[in-house]
Amino acid sequence: MAQVEEIIRKAVHTASAVFPFALIVILDIYPENGKLYLSGILALLAVILLLLDILKARYRPFKSFVMHFFGKVLRENELQGGMTASTILVASAAFTILIFREEVAVVVLLYLSLGDSAAALVGKHFGRIRIVGRRTLEGSLAALDTCLLVSIAAMWAAPEFGWKLTPVSLLVGSVVATLSELFYLPLDDNFRIPVFAGLAMELVLPG
pLDDT digits (tens, 9 = 90+) for 154-206: 999 999 999 999 999 999 999 999 999 998 877 899 999 999 999 999 999 98
Is pTM, for the whole model, over 0.85? Answer: yes
Q: What share of the chain is helix, strand, coil (3-state, %, to 5)?
A: 80, 0, 20
Please answer whether residues 143 and 119 qualify as being in contact, where contact means their C-beta atoms are separated by less than 8 angstroms: yes
Distances in Å between the Cα of 40 and the Cα atoms of 112, 139, 149, 196 are 20, 34, 30, 21
98: pLDDT strictly greater than 60: yes
The band of 6, judged by pLDDT with boundaries at 50, 70 and 90, is low
pLDDT digits (tens, 9 = 90+) for 8-22: 777 777 889 999 999
Q: Which of 28, 33, 32 is nearest to 160 (CA)?
A: 28
Domain count, the chain: 1
CA dist 166 and 206 (Å) reads 9
Mean pLDDT score across all residues of the chain: 89
pLDDT at 66: 72
pLDDT at 35: 96
pLDDT at 12: 77
The residue range of the domain holding 159 is 2-204
pLDDT at 166: 97
pLDDT at 151: 98
